[in-house]
Amino acid sequence: MSFGCQTAPVPSEVREAEIQEQDLWRAGASLYAGQDHAAYLQLLKSARQVLEKENFKLGWFRDYRRVSRDFAAALDAGAALKSRVEIHKSRRTAELSASVAIVRGKLQTLDNLTLSLVERGQARRQLTRASVLLAETDVLLRQARFDEAASKLDSAAALASEAEATVVSYIARYLDPGQVRSWKRAAEETISESRKKGITVLIVSKLERRLAIYKNGAVIRSYDVGLGFNGLADKRHSGDNATPEGRYSIIRKIPSSLYSKALLINYPNEEDKKWFAQEKARGRIPKSIGIGGDVEIHGGGQDTLTRGCISLDNDKMDELYGLVEVGTPVTIIGTMELENYVIKAIRDK
């Protein structure tokens, strides 16, 4: 018989508790349940002190039963703590995910808006940067790095708001009730002329990208159209890539052009020339820049961008060409709708 040579093995709970302590730290227990975590650590410390006391004894005299009980109690406390931490993290994940969904929805609305408005500048760049930040937020959320995720989300939301402001600024005229009423009046007067004279007229609504043919005051056809690179702006001078607004008429029918059939309109009209002269006199338009011209309605596709012309799909252009004559009035407006789709999209997002 050898005294103290055969020692009882240290209970497995000791090693399990070590692993659990690390797991709880990695799970962020001190962050999400600080007080409970401190209590758990105290329990663990007491259990370790008991273990140390037993280890001081000669092996023959060691009794790890109390050690096993104390570590088991610590393990139970640790498991309960882990559960609380997981609940807290789930709650936090759900809260942040809901916020991410809101920002994502806003970005989607603005993405669709900028595409339909052909906003090719600052707003789209801001949206792209916001979407990068949102994707990074997703990564951080999956890693349960909540504070960093919240910070990235704030940045994404801020950029989305900047993009929204850019879009609103880009289409400010379309949100102005006075301007919209003025456009609506011009369109209604043209339609009234169609009714009274029994003639065909064209109304182009730039925001909706629609060209409508009226005969005897009633719509007989309507088509989707493309506009200039800067189509939503009112044409002011040569090279501004804007589609003009106002009352015009067809002055020439071109059966074969670079873009299938074409209808030349009389831009600049008298009103355009008067405004241009005033702006030149005020020095707001450089002397070297002309008023521009050669604005047509032509084929080539309703999803193309032009230098200010109005483009249709070739088959629709063929149809339109057959329904109009030289002298047919063409009224180009921004929109007739006070509650247009842009306002609705920005309000309802």
**Interface residues for other proteins in 162-181 (CB under 8 A)?**
none
Q: Does residue 243 touch other proteins according to CB under 8 A?
A: no
d(CA 181, CA 81): 65
Should residue 125 be labelled a site residue for other proteins when binding is judged by CB under 8 A? yes
10 binds other proteins (CB under 8 A): no
- 10 Å CB burial of residue 89 (0-12, 13-18, 19+) is middle
79, 139, 218, 219: which one binds other proteins (CB under 8 A): 139
Query: Is residue 273 involved in binding other proteins (CB under 8 A)?
Result: no
By the 8 A CB rule, do 205 and 96 touch?
Answer: no
Q: Which of residues 95-114 bind other proteins (CB under 8 A)?
A: 114
Contact in structure between 226 and 310 (CB atoms under 8 Å) = yes
Give the range of 4-12, 18-26, 85-93, 183-191 binding other proteins by CB under 8 A: 18-26
- Using CA atoms, how far residue 62 sits from 6, 11, 43, in Å, is 10, 12, 21
Produce one character per residue of 227-236: b if its CB has 16 or more CB atoms within 10 Å, e if not: bbebbbbbbb
Of residues 194, 211, 208, 206, the one with CA closest to residue 299: 211
CA dist 101 and 177 (Å) reads 32
Task: Please identify, using beta-carbon distances, which residue of 139 and 172 lies nearer to other proteins.
Answer: 139
244 lines the binding site for other proteins (CB under 8 A): no
Among 303, 315, 318, 325, binds other proteins (CB under 8 A): 303
Closer to other proteins at the Cβ: 108 or 278? 108
The token duo for 211 is 């060209």
Cβ at position 91, least distance to other proteins in Å: 24
**Integer distance in angstroms from the first to the last C-alpha of the chain?**
84
Which is closer to other proteins, CB of 10 or CB of 132? 132
Asked if residue 287 binds other proteins (CB under 8 A), the reply is no
Exactly one of 22, 55, 192, 278 binds other proteins (CB under 8 A); that residue is 22
Distances from the Cα of 141 to the Cαs of 46, 79, 96, 98, 148, in angstroms? 36, 23, 8, 12, 9
Q: Which is nearer to other proteins, 136 or 193 (CB)?
A: 136
Task: Please report, as ranges, the residues that interact with other proteins according to CB under 8 A.
Answer: 21-22, 25-26, 45, 48, 114-115, 118-121, 124-129, 131-132, 135-136, 139-140, 226, 229, 259, 300-301, 303-307, 309
